[in-house]
Structure 1
């Protein structure tokens, strides 16, 4: 298993979602993609996209306006 980290802090939609999709395409089944960002709308959109793609949303954490979303491919 590989962990792929994507830092989109300071980026606004649709950049975080686009970068998430790119990372998920590169990931192999079982790999974990961790997205770190600050844009509030992306925090809602990324989990919806994960669900639509049929992937596993492992965790959403938020601290001081920065969120981290973990997805298993």
Structure 2
């Protein structure tokens, strides 16, 4: 699984990276975005609602989230 490190990146950079990856994915493929900004997390969740994907959000340590995205 591809891992996109967005630690320290502020919006809209992680959202742009996610959009790029979503457009290149095939059905069944997954990737993970790691972020440390809560506003990025909120923006990504809103973006993902527009795509045919499943996603899981896990706060691995306080203030750091891993969002795993799988294209349906």
> Is TM more than 0.5 here?
yes
Deviating runs (4+, > 2 A) in structure 1?
A: none
What CA distance in whole angstroms lies between the structure 1 residues aligned with 2:7 and 2:24? 20
Which secondary structure does the structure 1 equivalent of 2:15 belong to?
Answer: helix
Show structure 2 runs of 5+ residues with no match.
Answer: none
**Paired residue for 1:52?**
50
CA RMSD of aligned residues (A): 1.0
> What whole-Å deviation, never above 9, does each CA across 1:10-45 have from its counterpart, x for those lacking one?
000000100111111222110011000111101111
**Paired residue for 1:72?**
70
**How many residues matched?**
70
TM-score by length of structure 1 reads 0.87
TM-score by length of structure 2 reads 0.88
